[in-house]
Amino acid sequence: MSEEYAITAQGVVKKFGEFTAVNGLDLFIPKGQIYGFLGPNGCGKSTSIRLLTGLLAPTAGDIEVLGLNVPQEAEKLKTKIGYMTQKFSLYDDLSVEENLFFMGRIYGLPEALLKKRLTAQLETYGLSQLKDNRVSGMSGGQKQRLSLAAATIHQPELLFLDEPTSAVDPENRREFWEQLFDLCESGTTILISTHYMDEAERCHNLAIMEAGVIRAHGLPETLMDNLGVTVVEVLADNLRQIKVQLLKSEYINSVAQLGVRLRVLVSEDISRPLEWLREQYPELRNATLEISRASLEDVFVSVTGEGRQ
């Protein structure tokens, strides 16, 4: 494996009986980046992460993580990676400091180094004033910061985050991402799964998953720029009826209502979409039509589900 990549996966398949959870996964994740898996629940994001950490063995395909073959060398990999799951997995009946101390010992940190790391993690994640508090009485945001502190106490080269912000409010999510960028700046490679569009846009690179398959991948900006549709916003009366009519056309990829507007994805085969819409639909001749920039949600809709039909 090239030294440039933290993770490479080629042709990875994972089956559970007759069910295929991951189908032909190919990944090349550079070191020092935040790489995102975007997709709905059940699309294969968590299974893919478990395959890459060595917790599951693939049915087929090859995986290398930090230069180690997985799952054959998964034991050697454990001390090089951190893993934060969606569900809080620390001990409610222990204090903040006791949880961090326990995790440090699990990772084999010498006592002198562990004491330094404890102090540093408590300060970095705003937990110094809470170090003697039992975890059971902490808020969702505080537990999230503790989980991240525990997952990084051994300073891993690679950090896996499986939908880590699903149970916290937007302010805590924003603060959490600032901490991720700090980790990335210090050299940690991060693989994060999410179903939030705004989080996915923060990633350096992104894979959109559906039904165990990567439907699209690349820089978020590139995915939006190369969508292959024109996004038109429509301001008009009777939006629900207009939406029904628009969806009958083979040149309309998607229509979604956003408040008092419709967001319409028109195929790039239509060279003059505003004029075409007014010609095809009399109810739009006096409506306000504007071309808008594509969003990541537009990309997601276009490459998954009905957007591919």
Helices 140-151 & 111-124 angle (0-180, nearest 10): 140
Are 38 and 147 found together in one domain?
yes
The CATH number of the domain where 273 resides is what?
Answer: 3.30.70.920
Same domain, 173 and 218: yes
Domain membership flag for residue 303: no
With respect to residue 285, please indicate whether it lies within any of the assigned structural domains.
yes
* Domain range enclosing 166: 5-223
The H or E element that residue 181 is part of is helix 170-185
Residue owning tokens 């937990």: 127
The answer to whether residues 192 and 241 belong to one domain is no
Same domain, 102 and 174: yes
CB atoms within 10 A of CB 20: 16
Domain co-membership, 51 together with 72: yes
Question: Is residue 268 one of the residues assigned to a domain?
Answer: yes
Mean pLDDT by 10 residues, the chain (309 residues): 84 96 96 94 92 96 97 94 87 94 94 95 94 92 92 96 84 90 96 92 96 95 93 95 95 94 95 96 94 94 68
Domain presence at residue 201: yes
Checking DSSP bridges between strand 158-162 and strand 81-84, what pairing results, if any? parallel
Residue 309 lies in a domain: no
Predicted pLDDT of residue 260: 95
- Same-domain pairing of 89 and 198: yes
β-strands 288-292, 229-235 pairing: antiparallel
Q: Which residue, of 223, 239, 265, is where some domain finishes? A: 223
If you search the block for the tokens 């508090």, which residue do you land on?
Answer: 133
Residues 11 and 131 both lie in one domain: yes
Are residues 253 and 278 part of one domain? yes
Which token pair is 27? 């990944």
Whether residue 39 contacts residue 88, with contact meaning beta carbons closer than 8 Å, is answered with no
Among 268, 181, 280, 178, smallest CA distance to 234 is for: 280
User: Of 188, 207, 223, which closes a domain?
Assistant: 223
pTM: predicted TM-score of the whole model, two decimal places:
0.90
158 half-sphere exposure, CB direction, 13 A CA radius: 22
Q: Is residue 298 part of a domain?
A: no
d(CA 134, CA 90): 11
How many structural domains are present in the chain? 2
- Let me know whether 219 and 233 are in one domain: no
Q: Are 219 and 230 in contact (CB under 8 A)?
A: no
Is residue 305 domain-resident? no
Specify if 251 maps to a domain: yes
Which of 223, 248, 271 is the last residue before a domain boundary? Answer: 223
Contacts of 242 (CB under 8 A, 6+ apart): 234, 236, 262, 281, 283, 284
Q: Identify whether residues 279 and 144 lie together within a single domain.
A: no
Q: What is the DSSP string of 7-20?
A: EEEEEEEEEETTEE
Q: Are residues 201 and 243 in the same domain?
A: no
**Positions of E strands within 130-238:** 158-162, 189-194, 205-210, 213-218, 229-235
> CATH number of the domain that 141 lies in?
3.40.50.300
Per-residue tokens: 220: 């978020």
Sheet containing strand 261-267, strands side by side: 252-258, 261-267, 229-235, 288-292
Please tell me whether residues 81 and 171 are part of one structural domain. yes
- Distances in Å between the Cα of 149 and the Cα atoms of 103, 130, 163, 167, 183 are 10, 13, 16, 17, 11
pLDDT at 309: 43
Distance, in Å, from the CA atom of 300 to the CA atom of 6, rounded to the nearest integer, reads 26
